[in-house]
Structure formats: C-alpha cells, structure tokens
Structure 1
C-alpha cells in the first residue's frame, strides 16, 4: 500500500517525495521496516474505523432523519393542523435550506481550524433542540422560523464529516468509507418509514398531543443523546487526536502525506484557502455536479407523498418507503468498493445516474404501480450512488491544504443547496399522481450530472497531459511517471 504512488499533483514544478522520504520525516517511524509499518497502519485503521465510522454514520442518520421528518409528519396531518397552504409548506421547506446555505461556508472554514469533536456534537445538540421545539409551533410562520434555525444548526455537519473522512483516509480507502457513513442517509429513510408507522400511526391523542408532535419529541431526544456520546468518541485531526499515541498520530499524518502526493495537509490561511478554491476550475465543475445531483434528488422531501399516490393504505405507505433505500445502500457500497479498487469515478457516477433517469421516466409515464415502484428503486439508488462518489472524487482531486479543501466542499454544498429554494415548488399536490413537473427537474439534473462528469474527466486528463510533458514522460521514454489526477 505505502510504496504505491498516489495520483495527485499540486505543482508540476515540484518533485514529489517517495513514501520512504516521507517516512523519514517522522521520528517514531523512520526506523520501522515495511512489515512494522503495515502492522502499525492496520492498527490505526482499525481504531479509526471503529470510532469514527460508527459515530458519524449514526450522527448523519439522525441528521438526515431530522431533515426529512417533516415529510412523514405532513402525511400525519402537520400541514392541515397548522392550516398551511401548499405555498406556505414549500416556503417552510425552502427556509430550512436558506439557513443551511448561510451556515455552510463559515461553518466548514471554522471546522478546519478547531476540534471537530467539540463543534460537530455541539451543532447536533443545537438542531435537536430545534426539533423538540417543533411541537410548540402553531402557525405556518412558526414552522418556517423553526425550520430556518434548524438548517442553520445543521449547516456545518455534512461538509464537516466529508472533510474529516478525506483527512483520515487514503485515496483508495475514501470512497468506501464515505459510502459507509453516507449509509446514514439511506438508513434514515428506512427508519423514518418504520418510525412513522409506529409513532404517527399509533400515538395520536396521547397526552393530548398530535402524533406528529410525538414524532418530533422522540427524534429530538434521541439526537441529543447521540450528540452527547459523540463528544467522547469522535477524533479530531490526525495531528491532535487525544486518544492516539504519538506513533499512531505520526502514521496518521504519514498516510495523509502519501495520499496527497507528499503535500502537507496543513490548515492554511482561511482566506487563502477560500481564494485558492475559488480560482480552481475543479471547484466550479464540482459545484455544478453537486447542484445537478441535488436537483436529481429533489424528490426526497416529497417521497412519502409520491408513494402515497400509488394507492397504498397510510400504514403501507410508511412501510414501502424502506426497500428502495435499502437497495440504494447495498448498491452504494458495491459501487464505492469498485470505484476505490479501480481508481475510477466518472463512469461509476454516470451509469447509476442513467439508471435514475430511466427510473423517473417510468414513474412519470405509466400508471402501472409495479413499474412505478420499480422506477422508484432505480431513482433512489442511482442518485444516492452519484452523490456519495462525487464527494469522494472532489476531495481526492483537491487534497490540500485543509482550508482549501474545506472551502471547496462548502462552496459546492452551498451552490447545490440553492436547488432547495425552488425545487419544492415543482411538487405541488395538484400535480398528483405523476408529478411530471418534478420529474422533468430530476431528468434535467441527471443529464447535467453526466455532462459535468465528462467535463471533470476531460480537465483532469488535460492537466495530466501537461504534467507528462513537463516531466518528459511517454510510454517509451523510460521516465518514471509521477503522481496524476484521478478520474
């Protein structure tokens, strides 16, 4: 693993150090042989996997559950009980993403400079308190205000765990790890349906509360508990995690250096990182790709309402939401494994997104329930696969410094969230059962995603060609090829 060159070049004029040269920089590592390094690497990887992965997966599960809980609460009467029109409801959904957008960039730049083990759980407790406040809402205005503050509290979390994952794992490890915690997204949709079946279907009237009020209280309380536990389990950065030994901290930094082509993942100046990210063409390509993927996922806030049009009972509507997301999780892990093994991202995103386009085409074109449900499986699986691999790809192509990577992740996420300002208006109830206007938006997102994948691949190949020329490399030159951009 460690003798392998990693495909990232930051500056064509710099000589990239070999893994042995990187190893010599660390006092506790320089005298270790390959077998000892491999043993130490496995020990560190096991420790990080068992503390970081389960913690952020469960946190992301609760984060996404909090984001989508209003969808099932709507079926249980939230919109009617608060006398909200479709326009007010859509405004409340959009208000969440306005707060989310405002907090993205400053939150992630701040995270790059502080301890994630404090900031991320703190944010989680903040949005959980907002969730518990939701049952006190009595009007559409209150609904919009609570959702706005909830979005503001959640803003640093998703880009933050993306940044953390890319700062702990090597290039070949990154796609699978992101798929693991991104499973929190799909698992939350599965759990949400079962929770809705158990709480929304059975708890109405208890203690004088609506069932949707119990839904928010229970979810918020569990999220607070998870946030408190996360204070003690989450690592910080490779250089300052308290529960690692000096040797483990150094090999963690060594791994990052090898994965970054020898470039130190120092924090860097906040504004310098922001300026570097803005000037990098990859930033804007990934902004467009992320935006397109979120458009392709615009169904997610309305998925329970879409499934309801299939004609199932209320209880079955909650339950049949689970299989598409379960299948999406399995396919996401398989695609991530394949992407990491073959070091390929472009086609691993394009092929699933084509499947999503086929899926939504079925859903908006035929009244056959079986075909529409099969289409929902394709739709969910393809879009969630694409988003997971896009996150891994962007952090691989821009690995350092940390402030630039944090800025790129946040900018791309900010731009993508603008979709939520208008996409809720594409799914009014008067367009039931096919929601063809929303289906058109999803198809447009799928098409743009595929085109932008090609654009990133083309740009990476162009940069690699320039690096070949700078090094005097060709197939018959006898010159050893250095690090390259992966596509």
Structure 2
C-alpha cells in the first residue's frame, strides 16, 4: 500500500525488500523513485565527490610537497610544517559553523561552487610562495575562507535529500572520494617530479599548479550541475513531480524544513546532548587526522633508505584502506545491520586502540608496524557513518542538524590546532611516542561514548 506524506500530494511506494538492496538501495524501489534517485546521485553525489576530491587533493599536497623539496627550499627545519598545518586548522575552526549556518539561507548551487573557485585560486597562488610566512597565510585563507564549509555542507545536503537506508552509503562514498584524492596525490607528486626545473620551478610548485588545473573545471561545472535543497531546487534537471517526491520523502523521514533562527532555537541546540556528545566522539575518533605519521616514518627510515618517489607512493596503501573501509562500513551498516550505526563505530574504535597501542610500543615486528600504519586509515572510513548518525539523530530540526554537523568538524579542528604541537611534533618523528599513546587513549574513550549516545538516542526514540 502506498504511503503519503502530510500535505504533499506525491505518493512514495514502500520498497519490497529483496537481495538487490545489498548491492544498491534503489534496485528494489518503485521505478519513479529509482529514476529520481539516479538523477540525484548523478548530480549531488557525483559533483559533491568530485569537489571533495579536489578539496582533499589540495589539503594533502602540503605533505607531499614538504617531503619532495619544499622543506629544503623554504628552510622548514624545525616545526614549520606543524605551524602550516595549524594555520590551516585555525582557518577551519573560524569558518565551519558560520559557513553551515549560511548554507541554510543561501542557495547551495551557488555557494558551494563559489567555495571551490576560491580555494582553487588560492592553491594556484601557493606555487609562488617564497617563504613560510606566505605559506601560513595562504593555508589559513584556503581553509577559513573556502574549504571549511565544504565537507559539513555536503553532509548537510546529503541529509536533506536521502532516506535512512540510503544516507550512509552516500556519506561514505563522499569520504572515499577524499581518500581517493590522497591516493592520487602521491602518484601526482611522483609524476610532477619529472617537471622539476621546467619554467624555473621545482617539482613541488608544479604540484600546486596541477592541483589548480584539475580543480577549476570541476568548480565551474558545479555551478550548473549541483542542485539546491528539495524545497528550493529548480526544474532544470528534476520534474515538478520529482521535486514533490523529494519533499514527501523527507516528510516521511521526519526531516524538518528550514525555520527561522531564534534565541530559543539556539538555546535548545546548545543545551542538547546532541552537539556535545557527537562532537566529543568525533574528536576522539580523529586522533591522528591531518598528521603525516606514515610519510614521516618512511622519510626517516634507514634500512632501506626510501626515495622521494617511494615516500610519496607507499602511503597510497593507507588511502586504499580508507576507501575500502568507508565502503564496507557503509554497506554493512545500511544492509546487514539494517541502519544501525553504533556497532560499526564501536568496532572501528576497537581497531584504533589495537593499532595505536602497538605503535606506541614501537619495538614490534617490522611487518606488524607497517600493518598498523595501514590499518590506522580505517578510522577515516568511520567519518561518513558518524555524520550519518548525526543526521539521523538531529533529523527533527534542520538548523540544529546544520550546526551539529559543522560543530563536529570544527571541534576536531580545534583540537587539531594545538594537539599536534604537543604530541605530534615534527622533531619527534618517526617515533611519536606521546602521539601514539594519546591516540590509543582517545580510542578507548570512544568505547565509552558510543554506547552512551546509543542509550540516549533510544530514550528519545521511546518518547
């Protein structure tokens, strides 16, 4: 029997669940809904992933450039890499929450591609830096003015279009595109090494130029292809019936439309456990985010001594682990676990504890040490599941959802702005004893927070 959303005249036919949903969630749905979701995936998911790919390509290129000649050319012999990463992080902190709030009021089809154009232009400028001060300023502007709003903004959009059995896969595919960028960046750096000296520029500067060349066409195309929200999108790609279908789907999912920001709403958001516990979990599961521990291990490895190309290429396996874990976690969560998120997050936290505890011990077999470096990448695969869970927990208030998603990412960057300067210091590479002990402890805290969130969510659901 067909269901119908309140106040909306388009019916949504409940799918007959078959084995096909384990392959892709649209295969057992009504043909009209399937066509709509195909269009949505081609627009929002494709161009969202392409944009996120270029964002992470830009974000990763600093580490690749550092181990490929920038360190020597800019005399980065102390903790300058940490300072450049901190400048980037501080930009994120200042930009994320205002950006996501603005996204609830501005058309995403204009706002998000504009962010892409800005960070691409600034990345091209990075090819001209001659000192660390210029590098710090550019990294701050790239993050604070442009990149800060992209990831939480895309997760907010995914939560505004997709239903419970669809959202985790899309959120994790988005994450996987970022890992694919990091995978590609190593190969790109190895390739542009051959351009070193062309036009009087070293290879690491050519890396920034190639990033810009790849990113700008995607940014410009996004102005045309990226949709807005269901209640504001036009009929360029969707029919009027499909737009009504999109609205009905969100009504059935319990996702509220936009409402005015009021003092009472802000107070409600700030006094809810949602924003505090979800942000706290995301901080502790991201203990090594942005820290180039594996490339540093390779750079300082003595027997054998690795070349620049090997230092850029060997971490590619880490990014492959990130991609695979993101996809596997999403499919298991959506299908095998029937939409439950906490078991996957609990499992991932357990893996974190094991891998970082092993690296903290350090005097372990060389093969297991390499395995731990690679397995540490699985925590990135948890990010999409964490944001999916947050989208679902906050589905009853779209402004809260936007603020919570941005706050989760912001608080990670708040911690990342000072924690690496204490426990992940460049001068302590590759041993990082304090860092690995800290990451182990953070994983252990997650094993307490995850069940607590589940208990509180169940209480809300029972009401």
Task: From 429, 432, 449, give the equivalent of 2:429.
Answer: 432
Kept in 2, the 8 Å contact 1:240–1:249? The answer is: no
Unaligned runs of 5+ in 1: 4-18, 468-487
Give the 3-state SS of the residue equivalent to 1:138 in structure 2: coil
Q: Find the partner of 1:442 among 420, 439, 462.
A: 439
1:298–1:423 contact (8 Å) kept in structure 2: no
Task: Give the C-alpha shift of residue 294 in structure 1.
Answer: 2.3
In structure 2, the residue matched to 1:314 is: 308
8 Å Cα contact 1:296-1:443 kept in structure 2: no
Partner residue in 2 for 1:484: none
Aligned residue in 1 for 2:332 = 338
Q: Secondary structure at the match of 1:62?
A: helix
Instruction: Give the corresponding residue for 2:217.
Output: 225
Distance of 1:25 and 1:338 partners within structure 2: 34
Q: Is residue 296–residue 444 contact of structure 1 (8 Å, CA) maintained in 2?
A: no
Counterpart residue number, 1:53: 45
SS at match of 2:286: helix
Is structure 2 residue 166 aligned with structure 1 residue 166? no
Q: Is the 8 A contact 2:3 2:13 kept in 1?
A: no
Larger mean Cα displacement after TM superposition, 359-368 or 100-109: 359-368
Tell whether 2:245 aligns with 1:251: yes
Q: Matches of 1:302 and 1:283 in 2, distance apart?
A: 30
1:266 and 1:245 map into 2 onto residues whose CA distance is 22
Q: Which residue of 1 aligns with 2:371?
A: 374
Is the deviation greater in 446-455 or in 69-78? 446-455
The CA distance in 1 between the partners of 2:388 and 2:124, in whole Å, is: 33
Cα distance 1:404–1:429, how it changes in 2: closer, same or farther (>3 A)?
A: closer
1:131-161, CA deviations, whole angstroms, 9 ceiling, x for partnerless residues? 1111221212111111110111111111100
How far apart in 2 are the matches of 1:148 and 1:71?
A: 16
Deviation at 1:448, TM superposition (A): 2.2
Residue correspondence of structure 1 range 194-273 to structure 2 within 5 A: 194-199=187-192, 201-242=193-234, 243-260=237-254, 264-269=256-261, 273=265
**Is 1:25 aligned with 2:7?**
yes
Shift of 1:432: 3.0
Task: Give the total of aligned pairs.
Answer: 441
Relative distance call for 1:54 and 1:272 in structure 2 (3 A) is farther
Q: Is the 8 A contact 1:175 1:339 kept in 2?
A: yes
Contact 1:104 1:155 in 2 (8 A): yes
Q: Distance between the aligned counterparts of 1:68 and 1:271, measured in 2?
A: 39
* Superposed counterparts of 1:76-475, under 5 Å: 76-152=68-144, 153-199=146-192, 201-242=193-234, 243-260=237-254, 264-269=256-261, 273-299=265-291, 301-310=292-301, 311-341=305-335, 342=337, 343-364=339-360, 365-366=362-363, 368-381=365-378, 383-425=379-421, 426-465=423-462, 467=463
Quote the Cα distance in structure 2 between the aligned partners of 1:104 and 1:68.
19
Normalising by the residue count of structure 2, what TM-score does the alignment of the two structures yield? 0.90
Contact conserved, 1:268 with 1:401, CA < 8 A, in 2?
A: no
Q: CA deviation at 1:367?
A: 5.4
What RMSD in Å do the two structures reach over aligned CA positions? 2.2
Distance 1:407 1:422 in 2: 23
Contact kept in structure 2, 1:179 and 1:333, CA below 8 Å: yes
* Inter-CA distance 133–433: structure 2 relative to 1 (3 Å threshold): same
Q: Unaligned stretches of 5+ in structure 2? A: 16-28
Counterpart-to-counterpart distance in 2, 1:276 and 1:198: 52
The structural deviation recorded for 1:248 is 0.4
